[in-house]
C-alpha cells in the first residue's frame, strides 16, 4: 500500500489495519524487552502511561521513520509523541474494551491526532482484536456513559451505548502488523480466549498545534519537524531501561494523567 492510498483509506474509514511494520526478529526483540522488564518489576506494565519514559523499546518503536512517514500522511509533518502504552490481555482473561472514542476525555483542542496499535503477538477474533466502526470518525464526539466494570480496560469503563454491531469490522493483526485509527473512530475489543498473551503497543501522536485545554502541565516529545507552538512541556525519553529516575518520572506522569483524565 502506498502512503497516498494509506492516507486516503484513513480519511474515508477513520482507520487502516494490517499495516506491516516489524519482521519476526524485531517482534521477538521487542516482546522480549517488554517481558524482561516485567521480570524485573512484575507484570505491571499493562496500561502504564508514557512507558517510553522508562523503557527504551517503546520509544524506539514510536520513532521509527517508516511509522512517522505514515503518521505524517495523516496529521502533517510536525509531530509530537504524546503517549506509549502497553495494552495486554492475559490468556483466557475476561478483560475487554467497550465501544468508545479516544479523544472524549483527553482534553485536546483539536483532533489532529492518530493512534497506532502495534501487535507483538497474534491479535485475532479469538484473542480479542480490535473492532472498528468505519466512518464513525466523521460523527464527532458522541455521548459516553461512565461505569465501574472491573474487566473493562478503560480507566472509567467509558462506553458509547446503542452501537449497531452489524457495522463493526474486525481488525485482526499478525505479530508485527499495526492498525492506525483516528481519535473519534468508535472501537472496542473482546476478551482473550487464546492460550497466549495478547500484547499491543498503543502509540499516540499529535500535530504540534494541538494543545491541552484542561491544564498546563501536559507533556509530549517532538519526534519530527518543528514545534512553533510549545504547548507542551517535553518528556524525557528513556536512555536506559528502568533507571530509578525513569521509574520515578513515569510514576509522576501517570499519577498526573489519572488525576485529570476523569475531568470532562
- 73-123 residue pLDDT tens: 999 999 999 999 999 999 999 988 889 899 988 899 999 999 999 999 999
- Outline where the chain has alpha helix (H): 3-13, 24-41, 56-62, 65-75, 244-261
Mean pLDDT of 153-170: 85
Mean predicted lDDT score pLDDT of the chain: 93
pLDDT of residue 262: 56
CA 47 to chain centre: 10
CB count in 10 Å sphere of residue 203: 27
* Dihedral sign computed on CA atoms, order 3, 8, 9, 10: positive
How far is Cα 91 from Cα 114, in angstroms, rounded to an integer?
28
pLDDT of residue 1: 67
Residues 172-227 have pLDDT tens digits of 999 999 999 999 999 999 999 999 999 999 999 999 999 999 999 999 999 999 99
The pTM for the full model equals: 0.94
- Break the chain into its structural domains and give their ranges: 3-261
Class of domain 3-261: mainly beta
Amino acid at each position: 500500500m502506498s502512503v497516498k492510498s494509506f492516507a486516503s483509506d484513513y480519511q474515508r474509514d477513520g482507520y487502516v489495519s494490517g499495516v506491516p511494520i516489524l519482521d519476526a526478529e524485531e517482534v521477538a526483540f521487542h516482546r522480549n524487552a517488554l517481558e524482561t522488564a516485567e521480570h524485573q518489576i512484575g507484570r505491571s506494565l499493562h496500561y502504564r502511561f508514557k512507558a517510553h519514559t522508562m523503557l527504551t523499546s517503546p520509544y524506539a518503536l514510536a520513532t521509527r521513520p517508516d511509522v512517522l512517514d505514515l503518521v505524517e500522511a495523516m496529521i502533517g509533518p510536525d509531530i509530537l509523541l504524546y503517549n506509549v502504552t502497553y495494552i495486554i490481555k492475559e490468556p483466557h482473561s475476561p478483560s475487554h474494551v467497550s465501544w468508545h472514542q479516544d479523544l472524549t476525555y483527553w482534553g485536546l483542542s483539536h483532533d489532529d491526532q492518530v493512534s497506532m496499535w502495534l501487535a507483538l503477538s497474534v491479535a485475532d477474533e479469538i484473542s480479542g482484536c480490535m473492532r472498528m466502526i468505519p466512518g464513525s470518525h466523521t460523527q464527532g464526539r458522541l455521548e459516553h456513559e461512565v461505569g465501574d466494570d472491573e474487566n473493562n480496560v478503560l480507566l472509567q469503563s467509558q462506553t458509547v451505548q446503542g452501537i449497531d454491531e452489524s457495522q463493526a469490522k474486525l481488525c485482526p493483526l499478525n505479530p508485527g502488523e499495526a492498525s492506525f485509527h483516528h481519535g473519534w473512530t468508535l472501537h472496542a475489543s473482546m476478551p482473550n480466549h487464546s492460550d497466549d498473551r495478547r500484547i499491543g503497543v498503543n502509540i499516540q501522536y499529535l500535530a504540534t498545534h494541538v494543545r491541552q485545554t484542561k491544564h498546563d502541565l501536559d507533556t509530549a516529545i517532538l519526534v519530527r519537524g518543528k514545534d512553533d507552538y510549545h504547548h507542551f512541556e517535553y518528556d524525557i525519553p528513556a536512555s536506559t531501561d528502568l533507571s530509578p529516575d525513569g521509574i520515578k518520572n513515569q510514576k509522576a506522569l501517570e499519577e498526573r494523567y489519572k488525576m485529570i483524565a476523569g475531568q470532562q
